Amino acid sequence: MAGKLYLVPTPIGNLGDISRRAAEVLESADFLAAEDTRVTVKLLNHLGLKKPMAAYHRHNCETAGPAILRRLEAGESCALVTDAGTPAISDPGEDLVALCAAAGVAVEAIPGPCALTVALSVSGLPTGRFTFEGFLPLNKKNRRARLEGLAEEERTMVFYEAPHKLRATLDDLAAVFGPERPLAVCRELTKLHEEVLRLTIGEAVEHYAAQEPRGEFVLVAGGRPAQAAAPDGDGALARAEQLRRDGLPLKAAAAQAAEEFGAKRRALYNELLRREEE
């Protein structure tokens, strides 16, 4: 019988955040797959464990992944850990999970620390609907293009960022979303120098112009404020609602009413969606 792959989240700073269940799975798994075995050894030492480990990181995943899969298929159990946080969330693991899923090998995720949820929950921004954007592209042109694709996004947006790229990213956020947009800069979460700045993007640009960004960051940006469906919003909205009652899909109803009334299609669509979700 095939073994199982366990996804084991590890602390993003505070070692006390390892859960009892995560520790039990680490102890009982036949072997660990670790992003950096030197980092994982520190956690194992903290837990008083010694385990056989296989390296699994972005530079070897093409060969290490199939090798781990073969061991799972032969009946071993494996606990996948990364340097910090939840495996497969902006770190190695995604491909291994897909490999196991395709091969019919069981995968079990243990809940635990993740910088995304810690930052979102502490941000003070709306959390009901959000989009996780992970790391933005390194290349300036691609980064701008990615952000421009989010210019109309109304949901809260969460980004991971490295300290040496923070200033450039804040400049781009200001250029695309405007300096007035609310932003939570979440730094060194769960660590000694944890800091959450709730300000505007413009204020964040100024803050980090005067101060070198240090540590690990998650940026949580407010979405674009919902706009009314003007011009001719009321008429267009009424028409779109009529088209919905006639059985047209949401997108088509918004597009047709927008064209008939010269209204903004996207704003109309968003307003229609908002009303239907109420």
Report if residue 115 touches ligand SAM, rule: CB under 6 A.
yes
Q: Considering only residues 190-249, where is the footprint of ligand SAM by CB under 6 A?
A: 190-191, 216-218
- Residue closer to ligand SAM, measured from CB, 154 or 161: 161
- Residue closer to ligand SAM, measured from CB, 40 or 82: 82
Degrees, nearest 5: CA angle 221-10-13? 60
**Options 27, 30, 73, 90; binder of ligand SAM; rule CB under 6 A:** 90
Q: 45 CB contacts (<8 Å, ≥6 apart)? A: none
Angstrom distance (rounded) from CA 258 to CA 266:
9
- Residue closer to ligand SAM, measured from CB, 76 or 216: 216
Q: Is the peptide bond before 231 cis (omega within 30 degrees of 0)?
A: yes
Structure-token pair, residue 36: 């950096």
**Options 84, 170, 254, 258; binder of ligand SAM; rule CB under 6 A:** 84
Annotate 91-145 with DSSP letters as a single string.
STTHHHHHHHHHHT-EEEEPP---HHHHHHHHS-S--SSEEEEEEPPSSHHHHHH
The mark string for 8-47 relative to ligand SAM (x by CB under 6 A, - otherwise) is: ----xx----------------------------------
Report if residue 270 touches ligand SAM, rule: CB under 6 A.
no
Tell the smallest beta-carbon distance from residue 251 to ligand SAM (Å): 34
Angstrom distance (rounded) from CA 119 to CA 157:
11
Q: Considering only residues 157-186, where is the footprint of ligand SAM by CB under 6 A?
A: 160-162, 186
Question: Residue 211 burial (CB < 10 Å; 0-12/13-18/19+)?
Answer: exposed
Contacts 24+ apart (CB under 8 A), 197-203: 198/123, 198/124, 201/170, 201/173, 201/174, 201/177, 202/174, 203/179
Measured from each CB, the residue nearest to ligand SAM is 85
Binding-site size for ligand SAM (CB under 6 A) equals 23
- Residue closer to ligand SAM, measured from CB, 3 or 13: 13
Tell the smallest beta-carbon distance from residue 107 to ligand SAM (Å): 16
Length in residues, the chain: 278
**Options 40, 77, 82, 169; binder of ligand SAM; rule CB under 6 A:** 82
Binding positions for ligand SAM, rule: CB under 6 A: 12-13, 82, 84-86, 89-91, 114-116, 160-162, 186, 188-191, 216-218
